[in-house]
């Protein structure tokens, strides 16, 4: 029998979604959704996880739930095809997390490279909230609760997937085959694995303020593109320029397609030629940035316009999320029931146990 394909991903409501989310995960999800090559698809807004490092500002998380939902719909996620829900509304996830905590050691969590970087970024070295430290475990609960086989995410999520797989193997080893081992689905284009920020920092991230948001206005996009980090050594147009670590070229790797050259830069047949000219010298940053701006405007305009349409019915979006939560809760409850059965903590359904105990005590009468 062909294994069922169940897709799951989520985003933290710590801000509106940006083009890093788009190329790293969101675009792939919409393509998977439209290809229809799956049996179920779950997409969730990870508000509980967002609270783990935003406890000084829970209102930010609350405000951004709807922003993320709007970004989803604007990008083409379709509630008819994907269950869209809010993490905190599924209490079963907390229960699973609690049991999984017994399967992971503190030192294992400390080795997680993404969490290490995030701890530094948030100045948590002196005092890490326990919830934040253990979020990879709660993420394993999110994934396994829906029996996800496929998790389309950016490269920073690789250690989380590995942690989830370890938990699944350990659980199944102790309690018998119950949980499904998930696989990561990374973007195929290397530039999309971890899109850098407009400031050239390693990752575009809501928390770093170096983002182009999917909902930015045309003006904001242009300003951000025109002031982007390039090659600091490329001062005069005639100077040879570097491509490596040059954010503008990384974005072109991620976003440009052959037809963009035909439309906006017909002097160059393709990206390789543009790069070669930049490296030789004689090509100015402004020209390359103008080209990138044209591509970004073309890519983001339809998303922004669709978002505006969805913004007209906000109560309708909360209603869509409420229904999604209902469907998601039923699915998670089903897995939790299997988990409790496997762990033999389903005492009241376990007739054998009750009879066995009755016999044991009767023998001592």
Question: Considering beta carbons, is residue 12 or 165 the nearer one to ligand ATP?
Answer: 12
Q: How many residues at the interface with ligand ATP, by CB under 6 A?
A: 18
2 contact partners, CB below 8 Å, separation of at least 6: none
Contact pick of 8, 153, 180, 221 for ligand ATP (by CB under 6 A) = 153
To ligand ATP, the closest distance from the beta carbon of 46 in angstroms equals 7
Question: Considering beta carbons, is residue 165 or 194 the nearer one to ligand ATP?
Answer: 194
Residue 20 is a binding residue for ligand ATP (CB under 6 A): yes
Q: Which residue is nearest to ligand ATP (CB)?
A: 24
**Stretch of 18-26, 255-263, 275-283, 315-323 lying at the interface with ligand ATP (CB under 6 A):** 18-26
| Interface pattern 196-235 for ligand ATP (x via CB under 6 A) | -------xxxxx----------------------------
Residue 182 is a binding residue for ligand ATP (CB under 6 A): no
Contact pick of 21, 27, 40, 260 for ligand ATP (by CB under 6 A) = 21
Residue 150 is a binding residue for ligand ATP (CB under 6 A): no
Radius of gyration from C-alpha coordinates of the chain? 24
Of 295-354, binders to ligand ATP (CB under 6 A) are: none
Question: Considering beta carbons, is residue 10 or 241 the nearer one to ligand ATP?
Answer: 10
Residue 195 is a binding residue for ligand ATP (CB under 6 A): yes
To ligand ATP, the closest distance from the beta carbon of 192 in angstroms equals 6
To ligand ATP, the closest distance from the beta carbon of 263 in angstroms equals 26
To ligand ATP, the closest distance from the beta carbon of 24 in angstroms equals 2
Contact pick of 47, 67, 71, 156 for ligand ATP (by CB under 6 A) = 156
Contact pick of 7, 11, 67, 134 for ligand ATP (by CB under 6 A) = 11
Of 35-54, binders to ligand ATP (CB under 6 A) are: none
* H, E, C per residue of the chain: CCCCCEEEEEECCCCCCEHHHHHHHHHHHHHHHHHCCCCEEEEEECHHHHHCCCCCCHHHHHHHHHHHHHHHHHHCCCCCCCEEEEHHHCCHHHHHHHHHHHHCCHHHHHCCHHHHHHHHHCCCCCCCCHHHHCHHHHHHHHHHHCCCCEEECCHHHHHHHHHHHHHHHHHHHHHCCCCCCCEEECCCCHHHCCCCCCCCCCCCCHHHCCCCECCCCHHHHHHHHHCCCCCCCCCCCCCCCCCCCCHHHHHHHHHCCHHHHHHHCCCCCCHHHHHHHHHHCCCCHHHHHHHHHHHHHHHHHHHHHHHHHHHHHHHHHHHHHHHHHHHHHHHHHHHHHHHHHHHCCCHHHCHHHHHHHHHHHHHCC
Residue 161 is a binding residue for ligand ATP (CB under 6 A): no
Residues forming the site for ligand ATP (CB under 6 A): 11-12, 14, 20-21, 24-25, 153-154, 156-157, 194-195, 203-207
């Amino acid at each position: 029998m062909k294994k069922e394909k169940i897709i799951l991903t989520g985003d933290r409501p710590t801000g509106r979604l940006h083009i890093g989310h788009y190329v790293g995960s969101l675009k792939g999800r919409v393509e998977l959704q439209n290809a229809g090559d799956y049996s179920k698809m779950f997409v969730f807004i990870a508000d509980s996880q967002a609270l783990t490092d935003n406890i000084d500002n829970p209102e930010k998380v609350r405000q951004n739930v709807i922003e993320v939902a709007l970004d989803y719909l604007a990008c083409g996620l379709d509630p008819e095809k994907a269950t869209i829900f809010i993490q905190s509304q599924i209490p079963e996830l907390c229960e699973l997390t609690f049991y999984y905590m017994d399967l992971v050691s503190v030192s294992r969590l400390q080795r997680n490279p993404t969490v290490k970087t995030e701890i530094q970024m948030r100045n948590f070295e002196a005092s890490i909230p326990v919830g934040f430290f253990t979020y990879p475990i709660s993420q394993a609960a999110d994934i396994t609760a829906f029996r996800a086989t496929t998790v389309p995410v950016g490269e920073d999520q690789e250690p989380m997937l590995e942690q989830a797989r370890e938990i699944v193997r350990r659980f199944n080893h102790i309690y018998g085959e119950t949980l499904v081992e998930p696989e990561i689905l990374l973007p195929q284009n290397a530039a999309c694995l971890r899109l850098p920020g407009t400031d050239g920092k390693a990752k575009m991230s809501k928390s770093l303020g170096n983002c182009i948001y999917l909902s930015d206005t045309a003006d904001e996009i242009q300003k951000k593109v025109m002031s982007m980090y390039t090659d600091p050594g490329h001062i005069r147009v005639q100077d040879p320029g570097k491509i490596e670590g040059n954010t503008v070229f990384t974005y072109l790797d991620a976003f440009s397609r052959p037809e963009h050259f035909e439309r906006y830069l017909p002097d160059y047949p393709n990206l390789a030629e543009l790069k070669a000219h930049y490296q030789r010298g004689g090509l100015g940053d402004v020209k390359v940035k103008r080209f990138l701006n044209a591509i970004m405007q073309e890519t983001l305009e339809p998303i922004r316009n669709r978002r505006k349409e969805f913004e007209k019915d906000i109560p309708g979006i909360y209603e869509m999320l409420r229904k999604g939560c209902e469907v998601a809760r039923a699915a998670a409850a089903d897995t939790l029931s299997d988990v409790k059965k496997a762990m033999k903590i389903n005492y009241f359904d376990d007739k054998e146990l009750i009879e066995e105990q009755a016999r044991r005590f009767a023998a001592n009468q």
